[in-house]
């Protein structure tokens, strides 16, 4: 200690010559101090770790004495502050940061730390956790944004650049708002409009276009990581494009952004939630998921909840939560408990933790598409007409109920079939674990009789279950049977038949007796039937009912076919037994009605259904009895089946049509809670099987507290959503405004738009950000208004020309002393070549499309059994739809988009890269999409541009760049064009090849070599740097 | 990226392309053909390293990484366990199993019967390495050149997270792959080819092919130009490389001359340095249109060399072809080459399927090591071979002496390394008699990654990239260690 003091004493005088004076420029904790501490100190002296009992992340900690008894910071007394002593020390074991961390402070950093303490060590909470301060703009300007920016520029001795020319502005606005260049017509309208508000009117036209929603949605889909496949392992298709379309439509309707967020987080909990509000909750179903065999469910419950929690934090709060999964966040004031309290809101998701590789994993909703609805309604009318006719016919048939016959009928042995092509009417069929029932025909599998059989393939325990059948009474000597086919080479370990009486209490097992441990061993709950039957052929399994404890008189109302591993087919399942016509529901009307009493009859007309349910005892009116009887004879009676057959067949066809229509109607995954929430815990070191302290759903303590709608109840997601958009919430509107700013100006006011926490960058212009955030909120979260405000600023309208001097001073254009210049995004680049060539289709919505893609993009990575292994390229207009509708396969995104930095949508992406690579050059020159577009554009130039080459070049500039070429440009293009013309005139074979690229046809009467030359011309202009940039 | 650094890079690009970009024109092709590695070294590097890298003198300039996807059985190839023969069809002792978590594909199994490897192991080379010389006859001849690590372990039990882990150092998708990290950190010595190249060759029919994911060679949060570029077996070897039909190289040059004049004009007007970059990228693209065909043209290879690799060597899309291409790439200064070969997931019929997998790959693998050696390239090329986890000693499904399957086993598996400063002919790490637990010198995936970085001249602890406010590293937040014993 003595030595330390000595060295401090020696050092201090030198250092403090200029530092000990509290200079008049105030030091800001947030701007000047926290970044130094965060970078160098927090990882040991922060929230997560407090070495030496010292925390430097908040004043309440660093003003206290640490383990050594010394105070790290003594306000106004740098030389008494242990922090200063330590950073100045040269002594091993004393100096901070210690050399082992490989971190060192610069002289300037040491100096400012000293200055800060000398000024009294003022402390501020991290800026983004402080309430939003709305102050009046610093000067009067028509657009407050300019007031803030100009006052900042003045400090740097700079000013705005001149206003850009109208055609540059038009193209800039059009690309910003719709992702497309202006049409020639729009260009002519705008350039001719000399009214003072021409610019504003032009913006309004674009804001009203449905293409606006498509452009805005794109950015949001990066945040929510939307894609069309599950993302892990098989990476099968996932159906949730309705969510994507909902986002587009929300922007087009200019839905207030607070509602937009609330519906996504908790649309399902809103009172009387609409279909749209349910679709919006797909937000929480966009995470990657797996169905990989062998995965452990508990692990994936945890992982999915973590993914959703982290995405929630990043998407809405602009905070990275990942660290707090394992430990208290070292930098941001988010403890592991905070994190898991937030996680508790998402932990009780009702969707299965493993996706079963299903297209539409429950919970989901079917889409209310008008065409489907209409077709179903038409079919329903047909069905009820037919039913009425059947009952009329049936009423005419002669029938004598054997139960009412005086003489006892002969008792015969007969078969009762429970499964043949389908399960009994009215029964409930389900599968476990997740993979739904598969019925195969003889083409796809094995069939014993009829047209279909059940097929199931699984690595472990799996089954198909039929419950709620019409009750069947076991008779003396009844034998249960089922036909089974075991696939050679893929044998199960065991197979099992199960029957439900008062419970699932009756099982018969073939093969490994113990591998399915259900029911008490060696009782009728699990009877050993011996080895597996032989594979490779159909075998009839028979189980005497008595053997598995089904005594005569017992009622059976369900069965299940179960296997462990392998591939198994099942067909023709039922029971043989003695049948007394007087008590057999298939023969006796009285017996049938008795059996059906109390049961619902979805197929009967509503009045008849009520009668059947109330039973014969309560139905005395003769007409009513006859109605029920007619229904019985038409549908269930074996004696009248022959006469009814033609009508029954027709009915069957109709209902199959309807089922097919209902099933094929697309749906979308939504978010729901389990009826009983899971208990949530802090998971120790982020391990799914190491629960620690129990937590309740809550928001992080650093923020204003959550207000529950019902203080007595556990907080729910709707409370969370409302908290998110509450006026006290300091982050949400800052995060959103910053992202829109980034979209318009290229870089956010906070450059790290995905991280507004302590490790993120500080806002370049905090007052402007706060003013915008507060204005956005008080406008009712009006996105179109905000966007218009940004676009009408003078800042946005400057020329983007940059001098070497300004480039040096502000390489990233943060000060905005020039207009923004940004390379177009992947979607914009593709959409523009389609648009300018005239190939584009503006069809909106629906399943992702599959445009041209080079061979072998999906195949070399795809899992053998994946349904997205083979790329099935679309044809016709689907090749040319806007890129927001291109199918995104997460494990192999479309190369023409990934090449231009489309994120793969596995995790949130708040800011895309804007790379500049040779592979992009190759794509723009050679990709069939681009070259076909060049060909169609060449065709446009020839047919619409007149006969003069100069005029055609002008048209190319107008179409692609919304301006006229300068004479020098025209000359350069002309020189190239002449070479191309000469070359292709001399080589008709080559010309013929050029004009055949792509699927679209050439217009008749066009000279092939001329078209080839103009294709190359168009290809040139489409490759210009100016074309792929928003200038 | 650091704007200053970016600026610096632009300056050098400008020096390289700025003055000659347009004039390169029709000369470019000829120049490019004449360009060899030596003259390139004198030129300015297009793919520059990050400032301050390498941290120390590297022992390897390039990496060739064979990822045998699906998890090759360590027990049947490398980890010789003669005692197991006494345990055939006996239950794995619970003391060995130790209550570890199992994949749900076998966790329901009533018993865990031991399946000894049916294959003959012999001692090979001067080092006397035990190896399955029945399935690995060619590899048996290079055992003195390789270091086998028997004690690699992973945290993941399923393919997807395990593959993501082994390639990116993290189970959670979104992190850069090791190849991208190296391309970012070290750049490349070749101006006409990408710095990081991957192959996804065909694999035997009937093998259990798991999925690959582009994230295994993607740049994650690093700039996307560090993505691995796939050299493809069908269509264009590099995407969009070929001019459309009817467009000759001269036509392309005419088009580019016009394009570049117009871009140059725009640059003069606007002054945005990105325009300069784009101009040079178009020239690079044009050069690639000739350098890639030159790369893939095997006519200069001797008959002896081609024979050494095996019969499919000239068929694009095969593993054998990819292997010789890997050598040609590192010869040209490409930094990282990865071969992703699928089909190693033998839950059943392991002996026959594993045989097919080895037949498809091992001759070319061994040939590549020998070929590098005979050219003196092995000293500067690190070769890595391995999967994403190991396989269980107990059988999954039917067990006979001749036939069995094995489930996933993350607790230990084998990888090997050769050249690039590694110690040849050694074995590192030990497992118990059941190849079920590590008994000595465990090697975490990120220890391995740290070691690879070390050979390439990088200190993994100092090699970080700021993302989401954090210093992100390939080797993660837990402390990891370079395996010094593996280094020569």
- How would you classify the pairing of strands A527-528 and A461-467? unpaired
A178, A214 contact by CB (below 8 A): yes
Contact B251 A907 (CB under 8 A): no
The helix (H) or strand (E) run that includes residue B214 is: none
Half-sphere exposure of A505 (CA within 13 A, CB side): 11
Query: Is the pLDDT at B39 greater than 50, yes or no?
Result: no
pLDDT of residue A136: 86
Highest mean pLDDT among A91-105, A755-769, B288-302: B288-302
pLDDT of residue A48: 67
Alpha carbon distance, N-terminus to C-terminus of chain B: 35
Listed in sequence order, the residues at least 6 apart from A629 whose beta carbon sits closer than 8 Å to its beta carbon are: A395, A399, A589
Query: Is the pLDDT at B4 greater than 50, yes or no?
Result: no
pLDDT band at A312 (very low <50, low <70, confident <90, very high): very high
3-class SS string, A654-716 = HHHHHHHHHHHCCEEECCCECCCCCCEEEEHHHCCCCEEEEECCCCCCCCCCCCCCCCCCCCC
Highest mean pLDDT among A75-79, A346-350, A912-916: A346-350
CA distance B278 to B24: 15
A chain contacts of residue B266, beta-carbon cutoff 8 Å: 1024-1026
3-class SS string, B249-270 = HHHHHHHHHHHHHHHHHHHHHH
Q: Could you tell me which residue, A362 or B425, shows the higher pLDDT? A: B425
Query: Is the pLDDT at A639 greater than 90, yes or no?
Result: no
Contact A288 B210 (CB under 8 A): no
pLDDT of residue B44: 62
Domains of chain A with bracketed CATH:
2-124 (1.10.760), 156-208+736-809 (no CATH), 224-366+672-729 (no CATH), 370-409+580-662 (no CATH), 412-579 (2.60.120.200), 825-899+916-1031 (no CATH)
Q: Is B223 an interface residue toward A (CB < 8 Å)?
A: yes
CA distance B150 to B79: 7
CA distance B457 to A999: 51
Interior CA angle at A676 toward A670 and A680, to 5°?
90
Half-sphere exposure of B9 (CA within 13 A, CB side): 19
Q: How far is CA A339 from the centre of its chain?
A: 22
A chain contacts of residue B104, beta-carbon cutoff 8 Å: 293-297, 460
Write the pLDDT tens digit of every residue in A153-205: 999 999 999 999 999 999 999 999 999 999 999 999 999 999 999 999 999 99
The helix (H) or strand (E) run that includes residue A822 is: strand A822-823
Per the listing, tokens 């529950």 go with: A708
Q: Could you tell me which residue, B202 or A217, shows the higher pLDDT? A: A217
Q: What does pLDDT average to over chain A?
A: 90
Contact B235 A102 (CB under 8 A): no
Q: What does the block give as tokens for A596?
A: 């059906």
Sign of the Cα torsion A703, A708, A709, A715 reads positive
CA distance A857 to A898: 12
Contact B281 A863 (CB under 8 A): no
The helix (H) or strand (E) run that includes residue A769 is: helix A766-778
B196, B226 contact by CB (below 8 A): yes
Q: For the residues of A333-391, what is the DSSP string, one character each?
A: S--HHHHHHHHTTTTTB-S-SS-TT-SSPSSEEE---HHHHHHHHHHHHHHHHHHHHHH
Per the listing, tokens 């008749």 go with: A1004
Contact B274 A823 (CB under 8 A): yes
CA distance B131 to chain A (A): 30
pLDDT band at A24 (very low <50, low <70, confident <90, very high): low
Please tell me whether the peptide bond between B202 and the residue prior to it is cis, using omega within 30 degrees of 0. Answer: no
pLDDT of residue A437: 85
CA distance A968 to chain B (A): 9
Using CB atoms within 10 A of its CB, is residue B358 exposed (0-12), middle (13-18) or buried (19+)? buried
CA distance A178 to A201: 15
Using CB atoms within 10 A of its CB, is residue B403 exposed (0-12), middle (13-18) or buried (19+)? middle
Q: What is the dihedral of CA A958, A961, A966, A970, to 10 degrees?
A: -70
Query: Is the pLDDT at A871 greater than 50, yes or no?
Result: yes
Write the pLDDT tens digit of every residue in A663-698: 778 999 999 999 899 999 999 888 888 999 999 999
pLDDT of residue A23: 59
Query: Is the pLDDT at A759 greater than 80, yes or no?
Result: no
Q: What does the block give as tokens for A101?
A: 């961390």
Domains of chain B with bracketed CATH:
3-20+45-252+292-486 (3.40.720)
pLDDT of residue A775: 96
B281, A916 contact by CB (below 8 A): yes
pLDDT band at A142 (very low <50, low <70, confident <90, very high): very high
CA distance A452 to A706: 56
Per the listing, tokens 């060909």 go with: A935
Please tell me whether the peptide bond between A887 and the residue prior to it is cis, using omega within 30 degrees of 0. Answer: no
ipTM: 0.76
Highest mean pLDDT among A133-137, A781-785, B224-228, B278-282: A781-785
Write the pLDDT tens digit of every residue in A491-546: 999 999 999 998 899 999 999 998 888 888 889 999 999 999 999 999 999 999 99
Q: Which residue from A832, A830, A836, A835 is spatially nearest to A956, judged by alpha carbons?
A: A836
A chain contacts of residue B223, beta-carbon cutoff 8 Å: 913, 915
Pick from B108, B232, B470: CB nearest A856: B232
Q: Which residue from B447, B449, B456, B453 is spatially nearest to B479, judged by alpha carbons?
A: B447
CA distance A134 to A136: 7
CA distance A468 to A471: 8
Q: What does the block give as tokens for A598?
A: 């109390």
The helix (H) or strand (E) run that includes residue A257 is: helix A257-266
Per the listing, tokens 């218009």 go with: A788
CA distance B247 to B26: 16
Per the listing, tokens 């231009």 go with: A900
Query: Is the pLDDT at A843 greater than 70, yes or no?
Result: yes
pLDDT band at B41 (very low <50, low <70, confident <90, very high): very low
pLDDT band at A447 (very low <50, low <70, confident <90, very high): very high
Q: What would the mean pLDDT of A407-421 be, rounded to a whole number?
A: 84
User: Can you state the percent helix, strand and coil of chain A, rounding each to 5?
Assistant: 45, 10, 45
SS3 state at B225? helix
pLDDT of residue B443: 97
Q: What does the block give as tokens for A945?
A: 């541009």
Write the pLDDT tens digit of every residue in B53-71: 999 999 999 999 999 999 9
Q: What does the block give as tokens for B47?
A: 């793919």
Q: What does pLDDT average to over chain B?
A: 87
pLDDT of residue B23: 29
Contact A512 B462 (CB under 8 A): no
pLDDT of residue A433: 60
Q: What would the mean pLDDT of A124-147 be, rounded to a whole number?
A: 89
Using CB atoms within 10 A of its CB, is residue B440 exposed (0-12), middle (13-18) or buried (19+)? exposed
Q: How far is CA B157 from the centre of its chain?
A: 21
CA distance A383 to A654: 7
Q: What does the block give as tokens for B97?
A: 């199993």
Interior CA angle at B164 toward B160 and B168, to 5°?
180
A chain contacts of residue B250, beta-carbon cutoff 8 Å: 983
A837, A944 contact by CB (below 8 A): no
A chain contacts of residue B240, beta-carbon cutoff 8 Å: 854, 919, 922-923, 925-927
Write the pLDDT tens digit of every residue in B131-164: 999 999 999 999 999 999 999 999 888 888 899 9
Contact A854 B236 (CB under 8 A): yes
Nearest-by-CA chain A residue for B287: A918
Q: What would the mean pLDDT of A261-274 be, rounded to a whole number?
A: 97
Q: Could you tell me which residue, A324 or B418, shows the higher pLDDT? A: B418
Pick from B238, B244, B248: CB nearest A997: B244
Write the pLDDT tens digit of every residue in A698-743: 999 999 999 999 999 999 999 999 999 999 999 999 999 999 999 9
B178, B473 contact by CB (below 8 A): no
pLDDT of residue A330: 66
The DSSP symbol for A878 reads G
Highest mean pLDDT among A135-139, A280-284, A447-451, B469-473: A280-284
Listed in sequence order, the residues at least 6 apart from A455 whose beta carbon sits closer than 8 Å to its beta carbon are: A438, A439, A440, A444, A445, A446, A567, A568, A569
The helix (H) or strand (E) run that includes residue A605 is: none
Strand locations in A31-76, DSSP E?
Answer: none
SS3 state at A789? helix
Q: Is B275 an interface residue toward A (CB < 8 Å)?
A: yes
Q: Is A117 left (phi over 0), alpha (psi -120 to 50) or beta?
A: alpha
């Amino acid at each position: 200690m003595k030595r330390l003091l000595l060295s401090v004493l020696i050092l201090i005088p030198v250092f403090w010559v200029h530092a000990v004076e509290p200079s008049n420029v105030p030091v800001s904790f947030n701007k000047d101090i926290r970044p130094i501490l965060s970078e160098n100190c927090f990882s040991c002296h922060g929230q997560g770790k407090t070495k030496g009992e010292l925390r430097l992340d908040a004043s309440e900690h660093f003003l206290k004495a640490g383990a050594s008894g010394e105070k790290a910071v003594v306000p106004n007394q740098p030389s008494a502050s242990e922090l200063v002593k330590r950073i100045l020390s040269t002594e091993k074991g004393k100096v901070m940061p210690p050399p082992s961390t490989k971190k060192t402070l610069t002289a300037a950093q040491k100096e400012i730390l000293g200055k800060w303490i000398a000024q009294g060590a003022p402390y501020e909470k991290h800026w983004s956790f402080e309430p939003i301060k709305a102050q009046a703009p610093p000067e009067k300007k028509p657009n407050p944004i300019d007031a803030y920016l100009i006052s900042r520029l003045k400090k740097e001795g700079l000013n705005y650049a001149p206003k850009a020319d109208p055609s540059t502005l038009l193209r800039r606005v059009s690309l910003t708002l719709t992702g497309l260049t202006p049409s020639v017509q729009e260009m002519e309208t705008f350039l001719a409009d000399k009214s003072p508000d021409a610019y504003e009117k032009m913006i309004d036209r674009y804001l009203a276009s449905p293409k606006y929603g498509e452009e805005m949605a794109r950015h949001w889909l990066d945040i929510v990581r939307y894609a069309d496949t599950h993302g892990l392992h098989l990476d099968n298709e996932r159906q949730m494009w309705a969510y994507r379309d909902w986002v587009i439509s929300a922007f087009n309707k200019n839905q207030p952004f607070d509602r937009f967020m609330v519906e996504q987080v908790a649309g399902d909990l809103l009172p009387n939630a609409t279909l749209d509000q349910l679709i919006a909750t797909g937000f929480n179903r966009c995470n990657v998921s797996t169905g990989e065999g062998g995965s452990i469910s508990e692990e994936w419950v945890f992982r999915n909840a973590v993914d959703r929690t982290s995405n929630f934090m990043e998407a809405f709060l602009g905070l990275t939560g990942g660290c707090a999964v394992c430990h208290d966040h070292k930098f941001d004031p988010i403890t592991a408990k905070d994190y898991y309290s937030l996680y508790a809101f998402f932990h009780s998701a009702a969707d299965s933790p493993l996706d079963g590789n299903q297209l539409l994993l429950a919970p989901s909703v079917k889409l209310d598409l008008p065409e489907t609805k209409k077709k179903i309604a038409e079919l329903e009318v047909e069905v009820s007409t037919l039913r009425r006719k059947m009952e009329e016919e049936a009423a005419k048939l002669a029938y004598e109920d054997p139960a009412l016959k005086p003489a006892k009928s002969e008792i015969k042995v007969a078969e009762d079939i429970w499964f043949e092509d389908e399960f009994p009417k009215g029964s409930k069929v389900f599968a476990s674990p997740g993979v739904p029932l598969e019925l195969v025909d003889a083409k796809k599998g094995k069939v014993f009789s009829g047209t279909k059989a059940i097929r199931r393939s699984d690595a472990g325990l799996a089954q198909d279950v039929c419950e709620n059948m019409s009750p069947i009474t076991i008779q003396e000597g009844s034998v249960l049977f089922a036909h089974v086919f075991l696939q050679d080479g893929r044998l199960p370990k065991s197979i099992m038949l199960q029957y439900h009486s008062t419970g699932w209490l009756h099982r018969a097992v073939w093969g490994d007796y113990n591998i399915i441990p259900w029911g008490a061993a060696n009782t009728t709950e699990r009877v050993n039937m011996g080895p597996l039957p032989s594979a490779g052929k159909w075998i009839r399994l028979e189980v005497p009912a008595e053997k598995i404890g089904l005594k005569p008189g017992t009622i059976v109302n369900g069965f299940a076919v179960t296997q462990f591993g392998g591939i198994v087919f099942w067909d023709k399942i039922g029971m043989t037994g003695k049948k007394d016509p007087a008590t057999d529901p298939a023969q006796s009307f009285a017996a049938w009605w008795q059996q059906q009493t109390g049961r619902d009859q979805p197929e009967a007309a509503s009045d008849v259904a009520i009668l059947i349910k109330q039973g014969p005892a309560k139905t005395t009116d003769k007409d009513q009895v006859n109605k029920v009887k007619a229904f019985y004879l038409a549908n269930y009676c074996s004696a009248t089946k022959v006469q009814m057959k033609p009508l029954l067949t027709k009915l069957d066809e109709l209902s199959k049509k309807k089922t097919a229509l209902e099933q094929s109607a697309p749906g979308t995954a939504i978010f729901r809670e389990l009826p009983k929430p899971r208990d949530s815990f802090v998971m120790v070191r982020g391990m799914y099987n190491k629960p620690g302290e129990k937590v309740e759903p809550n928001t992080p303590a650093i923020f204003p507290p959550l207000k529950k709608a019902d203080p007595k109840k556990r907080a729910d997601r709707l409370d969370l959503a409302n908290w998110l958009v509450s006026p006290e919430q300091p982050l949400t509107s800052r995060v959103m405004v910053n992202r829109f700013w980034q979209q318009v100006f290229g870089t956010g006011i906070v450059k790290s738009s995905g991280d507004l926490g302590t490790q993120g960058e500080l806002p370049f212009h905090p007052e402007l950000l706060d003013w915008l955030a507060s204005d956005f909120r008080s406008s009712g979260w009006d996105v179109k208004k905000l966007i218009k405000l940004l676009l009408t600023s003078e800042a946005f309208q400057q020329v983007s020309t940059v001098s070497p001097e300004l480039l040096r001073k502000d390489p990233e254009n943060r000060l905005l002393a020039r207009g923004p210049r940004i390379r177009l995004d992947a979607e914009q680049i593709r959409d523009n070549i389609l648009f300018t060539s005239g190939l584009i289709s503006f069809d909106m919505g629906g399943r992702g499309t599959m445009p041209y893609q080079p061979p072998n993009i999906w195949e070399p990575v795809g899992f053998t059994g994946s349904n997205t292994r083979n790329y099935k390229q679309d044809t016709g207009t689907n090749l040319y739809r806007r890129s927001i509708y291109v199918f995104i396969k997460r494990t192999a995104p479309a190369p023409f988009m990934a090449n231009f930095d489309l994120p793969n949508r596995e995790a949130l992406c708040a800011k895309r890269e804007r790379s500049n690579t040779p592979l992009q050059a190759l794509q723009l020159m050679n990709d069939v999409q681009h070259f076909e577009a060049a060909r169609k554009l060449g065709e446009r130039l020839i047919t619409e541009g007149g006969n003069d080459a100069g005029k055609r070049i002008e048209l190319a500039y107008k179409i692609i760049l919304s301006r006229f070429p300068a004479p020098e440009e025209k000359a350069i293009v002309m020189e190239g064009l002449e070479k191309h013309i000469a070359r292709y005139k001399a080589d008709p074979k080559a010309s013929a090849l050029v004009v055949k690229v792509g699927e679209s046809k050439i217009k008749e009467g066009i000279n092939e070599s001329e078209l080839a030359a103009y294709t190359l011309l168009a290809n040139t202009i489409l490759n210009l740097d100016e074309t792929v940039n928003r200038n | 990226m650091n704007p200053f650094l970016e600026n610096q890079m632009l300056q050098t690009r400008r020096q390289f392309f700025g003055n000659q970009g347009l004039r390169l024109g029709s000369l470019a092709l000829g120049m490019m053909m004449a360009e060899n590695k030596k003259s390139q070294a004198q030129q300015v590097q297009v793919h520059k390293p990050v400032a301050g890298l390498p941290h120390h003198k590297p022992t390897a300039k390039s990496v060739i990484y064979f990822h045998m996807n699906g998890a090759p059985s360590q027990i049947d190839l490398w980890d010789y366990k003669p005692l197991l023969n006494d345990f055939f069809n006996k239950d794995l002792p619970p003391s060995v199993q130790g209550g570890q978590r199992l994949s749900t594909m076998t966790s329901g199994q009533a018993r865990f019967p031991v399946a000894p490897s049916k294959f003959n192991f012999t001692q090979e080379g001067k080092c006397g390495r035990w190896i399955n010389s029945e399935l690995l006859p060619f590899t048996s001849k290079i055992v003195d050149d390789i270091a086998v690590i028997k004690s690699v372990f992973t945290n993941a039990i399923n393919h997807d997270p395990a593959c993501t882990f082994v390639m990116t150092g993290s189970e959670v998708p979104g992190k850069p792959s090791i190849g991208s990290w190296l391309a970012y950190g070290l750049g490349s010595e070749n101006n006409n080819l990408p710095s990081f190249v991957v192959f996804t060759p065909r694999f035997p029919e009937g093998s259990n092919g798991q999925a690959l994911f582009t994230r295994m060679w993607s740049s994650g949060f690093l700039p996307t130009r560090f993505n691995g570029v796939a050299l493809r077996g069908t269509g264009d070897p590099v995407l969009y490389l070929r001019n459309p039909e009817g467009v000759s190289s001269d036509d392309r040059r005419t088009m580019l001359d016009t394009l570049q004049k117009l871009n140059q004009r725009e640059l003069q007007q606007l002054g945005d340095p990105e325009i300069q970059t784009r101009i040079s990228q178009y020239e690079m693209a044009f050069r690639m249109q000739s350098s890639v065909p030159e790369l893939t043209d095997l006519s200069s290879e001797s008959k002896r060399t081609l024979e050494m690799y095996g019969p499919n060597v000239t068929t694009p899309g095969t593993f054998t072809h990819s292997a010789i291409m890997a050598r040609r790439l590192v010869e040209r200064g490409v930094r990282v080459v990865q071969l992703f070969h699928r089909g190693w997931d033998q839950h059943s019929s392991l002996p026959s399927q594993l045989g097919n997998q080895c037949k498809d790959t091992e001759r070319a693998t061994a040939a590549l090591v020998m070929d590098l050696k005979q050219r003196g390239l092995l000293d500067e090329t690190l070769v890595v071979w391995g999967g994403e986890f190991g396989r269980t000693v107990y059988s999954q499904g039917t067990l006979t002496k001749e036939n069995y399957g094995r489930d996933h086993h993350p607790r230990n598996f084998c990888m090997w390394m050769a050249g690039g400063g590694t110690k040849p002919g050694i074995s590192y790490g030990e497992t118990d008699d059941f190849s079920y637990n590590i008994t000595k010198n465990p090697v975490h995936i990120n220890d391995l990654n740290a070691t690879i970085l070390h050979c390439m001249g990088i200190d993994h602890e100092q090699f970080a990239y700021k993302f989401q406010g954090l210093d992100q590293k390939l080797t993660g937040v837990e402390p990891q260690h370079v395996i010094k014993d593996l280094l020569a």
